[in-house]
């Protein structure tokens, strides 16, 4: 598996990284714990050595599952990414949104990135992950109620204490990256990016490239839509927030599948699935360092890892991008 360095840090991550949002169940309509553990272990067997999780994913459940899955693995061969700043156990902090927990109960999510909160969250994550250090520690969402400098100073402290190896952010725009850079050297910015959602190409990627900040792309398969396995009329489980999202309207699902049909001959030529082709295209895009790809069972995990074996020529990348430019979605 190809490894890529995260900015100027010492952390090298697998170009395909296991995204552990779905296994926490939250906003995905549930997940099976045993299958989730199997998915992580199979990923590691295929040299997907990096795992990205967060406390908010199932209110601690995802981190606990990750900790259990890697229990018998050489810790120094695994890169653990987790986050802070999105809390459900407090009303102190900037109100973010209301959601449901895995039991269907109403919860309120708050952004809280104060120094005291970060230190507490780090200790909680270390306990759930059953480790004594985190490879990449990231603010989950920008917190407008806390000065960026205060947040970054807390990350500096954790770096000095050896509790984290690298500091990162999620969902930061270029201006926020610049402000954070006054206090700390950031390793990475984790942002949404897929064939269907390429907004970061305008400002964030150019800034990151100029300042040696890795881009970790989340939802590169647009939460399953770009696998070709979601067809018009698809039924989403209760609690799955894809239901009602414009990307997953009947019309857009049909249009995306028509686009994917054009890629199938190339995928067949590469002995690959369409989803693998999409992942490979993603990590081959300028400025993209890592693709986070979720899996809820061993079959999905194996398929995701296989994308690393695909090689696309310049002409093949141009063909895919050309067909993509013809795709128009409705209301997304």
Write out the catalytic residue numbers: 57
Query: What tokens appear for 94 in the block?
Result: 């900037």
**CB atoms inside a 10 Å sphere around CB 326:** 9
Q: How far apart are CA 293 and CA 219, in angstroms?
A: 7
Cα-based torsion angle of the residue sequence 258, 242, 65, 58 in order, rounded to the nearest 10 degrees: 170
**Paired sense of beta strands 16-19 and 12-14, if any:** unpaired
Residues in Cβ contact with 23 at an 8 Å cutoff, skipping those fewer than 6 apart: 31, 36, 39, 40, 57, 58, 62, 65, 294, 296
| Residue 265 to residues 55, 272, 314, 326, Cα–Cα distance (Å) | 41, 10, 17, 18
239 and 214 in contact (C-beta within 8 Å)?
Answer: no
46 and 295 in contact (C-beta within 8 Å)?
Answer: no
Chain position carrying tokens 């059953």 = 130
């Amino acid at each position: 598996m190809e490894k890529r360095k995260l900015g100027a840090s010492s952390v090298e991550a697998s170009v395909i990284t296991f995204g552990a949002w779905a296994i926490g169940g939250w906003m995905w309509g549930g997940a099976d714990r045993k299958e989730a553990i199997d998915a992580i272990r199979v990923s590691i067997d295929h040299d997907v050595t990096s795992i990205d999780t967060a406390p908010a994913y199932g209110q601690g459940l995802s981190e606990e599952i990750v900790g259990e899955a890697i229990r018998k693995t050489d810790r120094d061969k695994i890169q653990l990414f987790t986050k802070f700043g999105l809390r459900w156990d407090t009303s102190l902090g900037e109100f973010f949104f209301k959601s449901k927990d895995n039991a269907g109960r109403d919860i309120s999510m708050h952004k809280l990135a104060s120094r005291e909160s970060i230190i507490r969250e780090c200790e909680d994550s270390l306990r759930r992950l059953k480790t004594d250090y985190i490879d990449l520690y990231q603010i989950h969402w920008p917190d407008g109620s806390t000065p960026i400098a205060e947040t970054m100073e807390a990350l500096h402290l954790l770096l000095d204490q050896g509790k984290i190896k690298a500091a990162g952010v999620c969902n930061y725009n270029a201006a926020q990256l610049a402000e954070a850079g006054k206090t700390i050297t950031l390793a990475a910015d984790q942002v949404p990016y897929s064939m269907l959602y390429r907004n970061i190409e305008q400002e964030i990627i150019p800034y990151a490239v100029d300042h040696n900040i890795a881009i970790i792309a989340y939802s590169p398969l647009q939460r399953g839509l770009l696998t070709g396995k979601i067809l018009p009329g698809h039924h989403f489980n209760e609690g799955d927030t894809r239901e009602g999202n414009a990307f997953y309207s009947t019309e857009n699902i049909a249009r995306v599948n028509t686009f994917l049909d054009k890629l199938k001959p190339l995928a067949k030529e590469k002995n690959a699935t369409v989803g693998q082709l999409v992942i490979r295209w993603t990590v081959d895009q300028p400025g993209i360092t890592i693709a986070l790809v979720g899996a809820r069972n061993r079959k999905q995990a194996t398929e995701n890892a296989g994308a690393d074996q695909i090689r696309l020529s310049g002409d093949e990348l141009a063909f895919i991008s050309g067909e993509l430019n013809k795709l128009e979605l409705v209301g997304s």
